[in-house]
Structure 1
Amino acid sequence: MVINTATVNRQDKTAEIVRYILKNRYKTTRDGIPGNDDSGSMSAWYIFHSIGFYPNAGQDTYLISSPVFNTVTIHLENGKTLKVIAKKNNDKNIYIQSATLNGKPLNKNWFRHKDICEGGILEFVMGPKPSKWSKEGELPPSMSEKR
């Protein structure tokens, strides 16, 4: 397998692909969910990406994608809430221009579960073109890294 380094750490490419799939592969018909949804994985994929992030299987990290909703409130089991806000969000503004988590700049396209388990506010500012935020930043952790 050859990896094109021009697409590594490019959250804007994730935004394009995710928004395309959400719009074109899911429908409100009997065959509206692509693939087998017996365990709810395809439905979960849709919901998480519509909110703007997705859990990386087997790790405590979430990868940021492209939120569809302007505001989502998630009620956590500890009674706290996580509010996700996407400012200037619409069908053309699919690219994250900047992000904050609990008022602090989030300069990477991922975060850990511990960052949201006590609730808080995850806020995105959206725009029509890829931004510096979506093209640069710290790569997510890998299970192949030495600990």
Structure 2
Amino acid sequence: MTLVATAFYGALDLFVAGLIAYFADPPERVLVFCVVVGILWIVPLAQNLWALVKFWLGYHVFLKEKLTRIYLAQFHKHKFPSAAPYFDAMHFLSGVMDDDDVEAATKLKAAYLTGELSNLKTQSPFSLGMAATLAFEEAMSRYKA
């Protein structure tokens, strides 16, 4: 989120807290304002942290093996070269795209996977982006060309 959007939402929270505090009894207005601001800022943070914990729990229980198998199937289907000399997903995919011995269809699939991983890292860097990269690298370690 940009700084302008963050400042706007923060100002909106402060306005709502001020409006609610305005209707409170005069000696308790500051306390009501602080409690409302705390609720508006802490509750969404707690919800997001809980969602992140649930995602990673579900990833390790359900998603990791499924994603790894999907990437392994893609490697076999498109006859990717061995992933042994590479240490991460982007270097491996770049190596596949730059290799002259690899078929054009495999290079296209490597380009597609590069875009897919980059998009996931951009859209949700701390959840699905990281999870897909971890599963891809696990598939790389299991893949035997």
| Structure whose residues are more often helix by fraction | 2
TM-score, structure 1 as length reference: 0.23
Q: TM-score with structure 2 length normalisation?
A: 0.23
Query: Which structure would you say has the larger Rg?
Result: 2
